[in-house]
Amino acid sequence: MLDPAFVADCPYGPEAQLLDEIVEIDRDAGRIVATMPARADLPLTSGQRADPVRHPRHVSGALMVHATAILGFAHAYHLLGLRHADGWIGYGTHVHFARWPSMARMGPPLTLELKALRIRRVKGTLFVRYAFRFTQEGRVVFESEQSAIWTRPEDAPPSAPV
């Protein structure tokens, strides 16, 4: 179960947060590990015109990219202390590389890992490069390196949680 304060502060509603649980936070390593379900009712996955041979139902690759945004928010929230309610917001800026070496099938949950590779602060804005690795029963189903910017616009008042 996710921390209710995290759920309330996230810029996406619970149905788009995708995570079941954050199972590890390693502050020293800049690492977060979480689990994500692999269910047929997930967004995008539910719209697949599946065929058991030609196009089996699977966790959408686009949904995995969205999961990287949620993990990035988890990193900002739990490790950097940034709160959306205080005006902080993050945006992905680059996908340096991404690959899906194996299909994420329905059933067993995915284990999602984020590691912050580099964090730079410039005039109150944070630039972070992340490595992501998603597995299912020990098989890698997605990995990437991506960058994001975390900013707190001075003219934007803090937002109330939705």
* SS3 assignment for the chain: CCCHHHHHHCCCCHHHCCCCEEEEEECCCCEEEEEEEECCCCCCHHHCCCECCCECCECCHHHHHHHHHHHHHHHHHHCCCCCHHHCCEEEEEEEEEEECCCCCECEEEEEEEEEEEEEEEECCEEEEEEEEEEEECCEEEEEEEEEEEEECCCCCCCCCCC
Provide the residue ranges of all domains of the chain, joining segments of one domain with +: 4-151
Closest to 142 in 3D by CA, of 77, 59, 76: 59
Q: Are 142 and 98 in contact (CB under 8 A)?
A: yes
Q: What was the pLDDT predicted at 161?
A: 47
Tokens for 51?
Answer: 């065929």
Q: What was the pLDDT predicted at 162?
A: 40
Regions in the chain scoring below 70 on pLDDT:
155-162
pLDDT 10s digits, 82-120: 999 999 999 999 999 999 999 999 999 999 999 999 999
Give the whole-angstrom CA distance, residue 119 versus residue 37.
29
Q: What was the pLDDT predicted at 131?
A: 98
Architecture of domain 4-151: Roll (3.10)
How big is the CA angle at 46 (ends 62 and 43), to the nearest 5 degrees? Answer: 45
